[in-house]
A and B are shown apart, each in its own frame.
Chain A
Amino acid sequence: MNTEVPSAALADMPVTERFEVEAMVHVNDIFRAALRILQDRGRAEDVSQEVFLQAWKSFDKFEAGTNCKAWLFKILFHCVNHNRRKWFRFPLLKDTEEFLESNLTFTPSVPEHITDEEILSALDKIPADYRSVVLLVDVEEFAYKEAADILTVPIGTVMSRLSRGRKLLREQLADVARSYGIGRVAQEGRV
């Protein structure tokens, strides 16, 4: 929800102005999420543009003052899913489940000194379904219910994917730490 402009004032604005105030302020958020999901700048730009065009076309259906960012993210995931077959195949969750069963037996600690590039690189390496939930809940701070609505999955799925996504992220970061030769002893003891 836009917190700076009251709902009543938004409702009185011309539609272009309201779109600017409510939607266009999220261009960066949408682009960042698209980039992390798609891992390709060109596609991320195209999808972001598509998201805002679709939002503009159906902006009359959007209720002024409600959560525009969540609405845009819902459109984003719709666009991504729509284009997914055209571009590439996300790893299937079934495969990921098997991967998790065999790999997530402990929660590795997060290395203390890690760069932004390394954390983003680690995020990029976790399967798309988990990455999406981590992005929505941990980065964009959507509530579980909102994330479930955006992804059109049950809230329980969001919770389990978040838990597993975080563990996978830690695992990736632990790999980074191991590549620096740190953290071996600590990890060996944790179950």
Chain B
Amino acid sequence: MNNEQDLEQENAALRAQLQRAMKGVDAPPYLAARIRANIAQPQRSYGWLPKLSAVAAMLMACVGLGVAYHLGHLRFSAASQNEYIASVSNSIPTLMRIGLGDHLHCSYFRKFRTEVPAVEELAKEMGPSHEELVRIVRKHIPAEFNLMLAHECRFHGRRFIHLSLKNDSQLMSLVIAAKKDGESFDTEGLMPELAHSGIPIYRTGVQRFEMASFESRDHLVYFISDFSKEQNLSLMAAMSSEVKSFLNAKTL
């Protein structure tokens, strides 16, 4: 072949032969029937999947919010906070409820200011008669916990001295309540968890709150934190004799 026209003619002939050869092969007769049968079946649709995922995510969020609410988070109104205090208090001995209630009311539900107040400032706010208490607490609690609150308060008609410390994730309170009508852990029927320097220390716990308590002549003393039982007890034990001596020398 020497010219383009011949080549084109030959290409055309080749194309025609190729087409003829291709047409000579047919799909098996069952193929079209199989395709029709397949497309006639209702196809499995995954269109519901995003909806189901959204519902699942929403359910999980609801469960998460429910759990958070149960654990005392998202309690913005006084009524819901009181409801939470009542619900967690139900599972601990009556005398322990006094300290836990004040801790929850004054510390747990409180929005602390971001800047850490000066210890001296807090000690001054409490008055000279209680400055020593701030010093004792500061001495025994690890330095990473900032003293955020030191005040006298009232909760459910009872007077308290309340010191609250926190770090980035944990909160603790030393709560001191004046005894009423011969209240005593001993008469309540509680068994001390340990005795330190002759001071019986009682414990209980509910949810994330670990409590250790002892009593002085006129006071019930509670240490409540997010620590483990052992940590909480050992901190309370470390402070107990100094706090007791301080309280026995004072009247609220």
Interface residues of A (CB under 8 A from B): 16, 19, 24, 27-28, 30-32, 35-36, 45, 48-49, 52-53, 56-57, 107, 109-110, 114, 116-117, 119-120, 123, 134-135, 138-139, 166, 169-170, 173, 190
Name, among B19, B27, B38, the residue most crowded by chain A CB atoms within 10 Å (CB to CB): B27
Determine whether B92 belongs to the interface, using a CB cutoff of 8 Å to chain A: no
What are 29 inter-chain pairs, A to B, with CB distance below 8 A?
A27-B27, A27-B31, A28-B26, A31-B28, A32-B27, A45-B31, A48-B27, A48-B31, A48-B35, A49-B38, A52-B35, A52-B39, A53-B35, A57-B43, A107-B7, A109-B1, A109-B10, A110-B10, A116-B21, A116-B24, A119-B14, A119-B17, A119-B21, A123-B18, A138-B14, A138-B18, A139-B15, A169-B14, A173-B14
Give chain A residues whose Cβ lies under 8 Å from the Cβ of B51: none
Contact A114 B17 (CB under 8 A): yes
Q: With both chains docked as a complex, state the minimum distance between the C-beta of B7 and any C-beta of chain A, in angstroms.
A: 7
Q: Is the CB–CB distance between B28 and A53 below 8 Å?
A: no
**Complex: how many Å from CA A28 to CA B27?**
5
User: What residues of B have a CB within 8 angstroms of the CB of A123 in the complex?
Assistant: 18
Q: Is B22 an interface residue (CB 8 A)?
A: yes
**How far is A147 from B167 in the complex, measured between Cα atoms in Å?**
69
Residue of A nearest to B1 (CB): A109
Interface size class of B (residues with CB under 8 A): 20 to 34
Measured CB to CB, the nearest residue on chain B to A41 is B28
* B13 interface residue (CB < 8 Å to A): yes
Determine which of A30, A45, A56, A139 lies in contact with B18 in the assembled complex, contact meaning CB atoms within 8 Å. A139
B27 to chain A, nearest CB (A): 4
In this assembly, does B34 line the interface, its C-beta being within 8 Å of a C-beta of chain A?
A: yes
B25 and A32 within 8 A (CB):
yes
Q: Residue B32 at the A interface, CB < 8 A?
A: yes
Shortest CB–CB separation between residue A132 and chain B, in angstroms? 13
In the bound assembly, the distance between CA atoms of A24 and B26 in angstroms comes to: 14
Q: Is B231 an interface residue (CB 8 A)?
A: no
B36 at interface by CB-CB < 8 Å: yes
Q: Are B17's CB and A49's CB within 8 A?
A: no
Q: B38: which A residues are within 8 A, CB to CB?
A: 49, 52-53
Please, how many angstroms separate the alpha-carbon atoms of A116 and B18 in the complex?
7
Contact residues in B for A48 (Cβ distance below 8 Å): 27, 31, 35
Contact of A35 among B14, B23, B25 (CB under 8 A): B25
